[in-house]
């Protein structure tokens, strides 16, 4: 007997995705739109955002800007409220890296990563909660990383920011649970990206040998987790970290 498809439809819902111009953020935007949501995609790079919108005939709207800028955050949420009157899903994906050993890390590189990856997510949540608390529903999904749980040399700032997102997820989940708002995190493992494409086969093989499933993940694997946590089927899941890493970290 054929299995019935899982009804993860998001028809009529409104989503905001940060860091949406490329990579995982662009995939999240597409899969949410494919599931029926109206998606407001924001990032600093306007050209890439515009190209993304052109393929979705009005279902995806691009708003370029820096979410660490309070004026952009306020105007973005005001724009969503004026057009749709609601905000159902927030995906905090925007992130940067400034990798180097802790001994050599400049204060400005520490601050830049924490400001974008952690503080930016917190401030977006603050803005989004106005609409979600009013409508007494919402889904907030924060993009963490397997390195938040395992650590990684040369990424003290990035690891700290992604570990901070896990703590932020759990704290906000407790605060807003009574209003039917869920807050969860997704922690990807090694994912096929342009960054991994340039690695030597020897390094790729070594990395894959650490993964019980024996392969890198794809952007589709992470996007499926996002859509699930945004759906009604995940209504009783909050304050959790969904680990999508092929078994790289179990705990």
Q: What is the pTM of this model?
A: 0.93
Catalytic residue among 80, 90, 158, 242: 158
Q: How many CB atoms lie within 10 A of CB 35?
A: 19
pLDDT at 8: 66
C-alpha 128/C-alpha 123 separation (Å) is 9
pLDDT at 239: 98
pLDDT at 52: 83
* 14-192+219-243 carries CATH number 3.40.50.720: yes
Q: 200 pairs with which residues across the strands?
A: none
Q: What is the pLDDT of residue 55?
A: 79
Contacts of 232 (CB under 8 A, 6+ apart): none
Domains of the chain, by residue range, sit at 14-192+219-243
93: closest CA among 76, 123, 116?
A: 116
CA distance 186 to 189: 10
Q: Starting from the edge strand earliest in sequence, which strands make up the sheet with 181-188, in order?
A: 60-64, 38-43, 14-18, 89-92, 138-143, 181-188, 241-244
User: Helices marked H in the chain — which ranges?
Assistant: 23-34, 46-54, 70-84, 107-114, 120-135, 147-150, 156-176, 194-197, 201-209, 219-230
Burial class (CB in 10 A: 0-12, 13-18, 19+), 123: middle
Size of the chain, expressed as the number of residues it contains: 251
* pLDDT score for 1: 36
* pLDDT recorded at residue 2: 42
Question: CA–CA separation, 91 vs 124, rounded Å?
Answer: 9
Low-confidence ranges of the chain (pLDDT < 50): 1-6
Q: Which residues of 216-235 are buried (b: 16+ CB within 10 A; e: fewer)?
A: bbebebbbbbbbbbbbeebe
Q: Number of H helices and number of E strands within the chain?
A: 10, 7
Respond yes or no: is residue 158 known to be catalytic. yes
pLDDT at 195: 67
pLDDT for 45 equals: 83
């Amino acid at each position: 007997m054929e299995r019935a498809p899982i009804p993860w439809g998001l028809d009529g819902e409104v989503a905001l995705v940060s860091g949406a111009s490329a990579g995982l953020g662009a995939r999240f935007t597409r899969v949410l739109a494919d599931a029926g949501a109206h998606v407001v995609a924001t990032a600093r790079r306007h050209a890439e955002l515009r190209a993304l919108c052109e393929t979705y005939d009005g279902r995806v709207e691009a708003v370029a800007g820096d979410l660490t800028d309070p004026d952009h955050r306020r105007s973005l949420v005001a724009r969503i409220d004026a057009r749709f009157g609601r905000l159902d899903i927030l995906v905090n994906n925007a992130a940067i890296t400034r990798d180097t050993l802790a001994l050599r890390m400049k204060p400005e590189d520490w601050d830049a990563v924490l400001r974008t990856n952690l503080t930016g997510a917190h401030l977006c949540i603050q803005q989004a909660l106005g609409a979600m608390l009013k409508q007494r529903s919402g889904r907030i999904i924060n993009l963490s990383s397997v390195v938040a749980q395992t650590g990684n040399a040369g990424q003290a700032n990035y690891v700290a920011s992604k570990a901070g997102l896990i703590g932020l997820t759990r704290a906000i989940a407790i605060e807003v649970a009574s209003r039917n708002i869920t807050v969860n995190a997704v922690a990807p493992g090694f994912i096929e990206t342009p960054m991994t494409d340039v690695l030597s086969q020897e390094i790729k093989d070594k990395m894959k040998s650490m993964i019980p499933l024996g392969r890198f993940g794809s952007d589709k694997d992470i996007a499926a987790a996002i859509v699930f946590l945004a759906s009604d089927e995940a209504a009783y899941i909050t304050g959790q970290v969904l680990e999508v890493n092929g078994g790289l970290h179990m705990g």
